[in-house]
Amino acid sequence: MSTVIVKTEDCINALTTNGFEVFFANTPNAAKEIFFNQILPNLPTKTMSWGDSMTLDSTGVLTELQNDKSINTIKTFEAGVARSEIIERRRQALLSDLFLTGSNAITECGKLVNLDMIGNRIGGISFGPKNVVIFAGTNKIVPNIESAFKRIRNISAPLNAKRHLLETPCVKTGKCHDCNSPQRICNSWSIIDKCYPKKRIKIVLIDEALGL
């Protein structure tokens, strides 16, 4: 059995022990099928929102959910909408029934590690929404908390800053300078050791390299 498979299996077992409900998908499309067939039918959902995640985007789940007229979608990203309105929607998103997002890193011992600019994503993961579903590629699995910090600071954050067209030093050099930029993307860390209540956070682990 390959090291990668053992690492993924160990991670799934550890996440389950830590109270997360874990699903495994081979592709983003399979993750979407799992979400609509095995997860959503068991969650009473009148309101839904999300935190920024390229992996979530890759599944197509958001597009399909927004076509469901029985669910009120709180759009936390929308072109042409004033920044103040977007921030207000992100506040309201913390009271939604269902919150979808990704994770910057998942340790082999089953902990979620994330870093936010504003905090709306880690806020929603920690408390507020009744249920959370996280979509993450197996490339996000790291050996431990230290390697999670390293991965996020040196890979995820600079590439996310670039993706959002921010003017931070890392966009120019591709590495972190622990900057004091007004557009600094690295402001609030979150480590979820265990899921409380159990199974409130569901993780769809996708067997591909996805997101940042």
- Is 129 near ligand SF4 (CB under 6 A)? no
- Is 112 near ligand SF4 (CB under 6 A)? no
Q: Which of 22, 56, 176, 201 binds ligand SF4 (CB under 6 A)?
A: 176
Q: How far apart are CA 89 and CA 84, in angstroms?
A: 9
Q: How far apart are CA 112 and CA 141, in angstroms?
A: 10
Q: Least distance from C-beta 104 to ligand SF4, angstroms? A: 12
Instruction: From 183, 125, 113, select the one nearest 151 (Cα to Cα).
Output: 113
- Is 178 near ligand SF4 (CB under 6 A)? yes
- Is 161 near ligand SF4 (CB under 6 A)? yes
- Is 164 near ligand SF4 (CB under 6 A)? no
Q: Which of 164, 172, 177, 194 binds ligand SF4 (CB under 6 A)?
A: 177
Residues binding ligand SF4: number (CB under 6 A):
15
Tokens standing for 165? 């067209």
Q: Least distance from C-beta 156 to ligand SF4, angstroms? A: 8
Q: How far apart are CA 15 and CA 199, in angstroms?
A: 10
Q: Least distance from C-beta 137 to ligand SF4, angstroms? A: 21
DSSP 46-112: SEEEE---HHHHHHTHHHHHHT-TTSEE--S--TT--HHHHHHHHHHHTT-SEEEE--SEEETTS-E
Binding site for ligand SF4 (CB under 6 A): 153, 157-158, 161, 168-170, 176-179, 181, 184-186
